[in-house]
Amino acid sequence: MIPFNKPPITGDEQKYIEEVLAGGRLSGDGLFTRKCEEWFEKNLPCKKALLTTSCTHSLEIAAMLIGIKHGDEVIMPSYTFVSTANAFVLRGARIVFVDTRKDTQNIDEKLIEQAITTKTKAIVVVHYAGIPCEMDTILQVAQTNKLYVVEDAAQGMFSTYDSSALGTIGHIGTYSFHETKNYTSGGEGGLILINDEKLIQRAEIIRAKGTNKSQFFQGIVDKYSWVDIGSSYLPNGLSSAFLWAQLVNAKKINDKRLAVYNTYVEELSSLAQSMSFSIPAVPENCKGNGHMFYLKLNSFEQKEEFISYMKKRNIQTSSHYAPLHSSTAGKKYGRFSLVDHNTTVCSQTLVRLPIFYNIEKDEVTHIIDSVKQFFK
């Protein structure tokens, strides 16, 4: 069976993990935590990068940083993972879900303005499949209405919008290093980017359990104490060392995924056109990262038939998100703005093909041949 995903392994992970073990310090904010954060600040670039234990926790920090409180409203797409909404619901917000675009599966930027009320505090965009949202329009809407913009770029490492890295465009950006992502810190992990300098110091405090420990280590205060709300969001040294091995090989990983992605595009574009199904679309001013390749088929029944057929060919495929607005919690903690034209249809018809760093060429060939045989 060709699996849907395998976490990227470069071969350098054990070497750096052994350095941590030899150093005798396993807690966070050690050598590899600092190396990773400095690497992101240089290569993305951004004002401040802080490693976290997950993208979920990065989003929770973001919700605290922008002062989300009971009764606030936060706008986001319904076609996303539960963490995008949960982080803000935990602070008392009500979620206002907006429909997606048919071409990118990202939030429809043209519908955001109509979802804004006097209670709206922030717009949370999700760069689905590592393909950027229409950020110029979103930033203009946010500026006009004095709203924060938080980027859920869990899938978007090294994708760009007008040459700017995803996560560096809004006030705050968040990333995931879960094992399904392009880069992993050993199964779970995350990153928060602070693009508004006024938020940096408080972000450090929230991540350090609400203490000014970071200021203590910088020599700004003579002892650290509890000064704000916060929690334990700092990853351990082993996770940071694992991630460092990925970053040392970042270009190689990115190039490999893009090569597989581009092969799918080259081999399946004409078939998609002739059989009237969709494949990922990257806007002209954007650059993707090969995170995901999907087919958006013609019906739920065809998707189920496709998944079953590929399984018989020893290929594991996967559908994706169930719309949050139609879930039990979504109905309790949020509402859908206007009309759901695309979100549910996308959920019912989208299926993802295997794509990962260590996939072999003959496996990619078999997958492509199987897709073609299904439609034949």
Percentage of the chain exceeding pLDDT 70: 100
Predicted local distance difference test score (pLDDT) of residue 92:
98
Domain ranges across the chain: 13-249, 251-375
Predicted local distance difference test score (pLDDT) of residue 375:
98
Report the DSSP pairing between strands 164-165 and 160-161: antiparallel
Q: What is the mean pLDDT of residues 209-223?
A: 90
d(CA 40, CA 177) in angstroms, rounded, equals 13
Token pair listed for 157: 């490492």
Contacts of 204 (CB under 8 A, 6+ apart): 50, 214, 215
The per-residue pLDDT of the chain, averaged, comes to: 97
Predicted local distance difference test score (pLDDT) of residue 24:
87
| Region label for 210, one of left (φ > 0), alpha (ψ between -120 and 50) or beta (otherwise) | left
| Architecture field, domain 13-249 | 3-Layer(aba) Sandwich (3.40)
Token pair listed for 2: 């060709």
Predicted local distance difference test score (pLDDT) of residue 274:
98
Predicted local distance difference test score (pLDDT) of residue 125:
99
The per-residue pLDDT for range 20-29, each reduced to its tens digit, is: 999 988 998 8
Q: How confident is the model at residue 156 (pLDDT cuts 50, 70, 90)?
A: very high
d(CA 234, CA 4) in angstroms, rounded, equals 30
Predicted local distance difference test score (pLDDT) of residue 173:
98
Is residue 219 pLDDT above 90, yes or no?
no
Predicted local distance difference test score (pLDDT) of residue 325:
98
The per-residue pLDDT for range 311-350, each reduced to its tens digit, is: 999 999 999 999 999 999 999 999 999 999 999 999 999 9
Q: What is the CATH number of domain 251-375?
A: 3.90.1150.10
Predicted local distance difference test score (pLDDT) of residue 217:
82
Task: Compute CA 26 distance to the chain's CA centroid, rounded to the nearest angstrom.
Answer: 27
The per-residue pLDDT for range 27-68, each reduced to its tens digit, is: 988 999 999 999 999 999 999 999 999 999 999 999 999 999
Predicted local distance difference test score (pLDDT) of residue 111:
98
| Bridge partners (DSSP) listed for residue 39 | none
Residue closest to 50 by CA, chosen among 177, 178, 182: 177
Predicted local distance difference test score (pLDDT) of residue 85:
98
d(CA 279, CA 295) in angstroms, rounded, equals 5
The per-residue pLDDT for range 78-94, each reduced to its tens digit, is: 999 999 999 999 999 99
Q: How confident is the model at residue 361 (pLDDT cuts 50, 70, 90)?
A: very high
SS3 23: helix
Q: At what angle do helices 31-43 and 13-23 cross, to 10 degrees?
A: 130
Which of these ranges, 23-32, 174-183, 234-243, has the smallest mean pLDDT?
23-32
d(CA 196, CA 181) in angstroms, rounded, equals 26
Percentage of the chain exceeding pLDDT 90: 95
Angle at 42 between CA 20 and CA 251, to 5 degrees: 75
The per-residue pLDDT for range 103-115, each reduced to its tens digit, is: 999 999 999 999 9
Predicted local distance difference test score (pLDDT) of residue 62:
98
C-alpha dihedral over 168, 170, 171, 177, to 10 degrees?
A: -50
Q: What is the mean pLDDT of residues 119-138?
A: 98
Helices (H), the chain: 13-23, 31-43, 55-65, 82-89, 112-115, 135-145, 200-207, 213-217, 237-248, 250-275, 300-312, 328-333, 343-349, 361-375
Is residue 190 pLDDT above 90, yes or no?
yes
Shared fold status for 13-249 and 251-375: no
Q: How confident is the model at residue 218 (pLDDT cuts 50, 70, 90)?
A: confident
